[in-house]
Amino acid sequence: MLAEAATTTSAAEFPHIVGLAAELNSGNVFGHFCHRWESAIYALLVIALLAFFSRLATRKLEYVPGRLQSGAEFVVSFIDDFIRSILGDRGREFTPFIGTLFLYILAMNYIGLIPFFKSPTADLSTTVALALIVFFYIQYTAFKELGVGGYVDHLMGQPRGWMAITLIVPAFMLVLHIISELVRPISLSLRLRSNIYGDDVILALFASWGLKDGFLWLFPNLILVILTSTIQAAVFSVLSLVYFSLVMKHDEAHH
């Protein structure tokens, strides 16, 4: 019965626990719930796993740290140094957000590599939600840093001299920058979703060839998928960091 349910799942992805539960309980409330919220379930599972390991690494802090605490401190220190190298000392304000964003996306990308699990980032609804969070936080930061007038001036390209007199170029820049701001969450979400979904499709395709014919292609592509998952989490986080730097006061941010 399990095998029959696995064959009815999408051919573009591996069978996974929540999807199989949805197929086995099709026609009832539980099956409908699993089908509708499968990506959210995996996303919440990743949150629980990250919270568990964070608690495990910090529950008993020691002056001479053990391996788990040392690993956690290395990751946090690396992310903090990288952010500060772009935003300066004030970048530490964004370390919790950008660091959590990177680790969360990375874990969601990786969990799909575990048999019978799915990457939530292969679903557009997940990546759109992440991109919208970044978008609204950037807008909040822009108004906080520059004020309403300063942000409008920033969107207009900070017109001075003849540019301010004609108003043609500033108006054009304002429209252009508004469109650019609105396009950013779309590009962020589509880039992440498309790459992770494409990787899942490729692995599922090679796996469908069987152990004999597909293994020689599956293993090297699995290494590439791990690398791609890491790069895509980094790209999403770095682009978000760059967007923050663009709306911070220029005398306090590094270029």
Percent of the chain scored above 90 by pLDDT?
Answer: 42
CB 99 within 8 A of CB 106: no
Tens digits of residue pLDDT in 110-169 = 998 888 899 999 999 999 999 999 999 999 999 998 888 888 888 887 776 665 556 677
Say what the pLDDT of residue 220 is.
76
Say what the pLDDT of residue 152 is.
85
Cα distance between residue 236 and residue 255, in whole Å: 19
pLDDT category at 247 given cuts 50, 70, 90 is confident
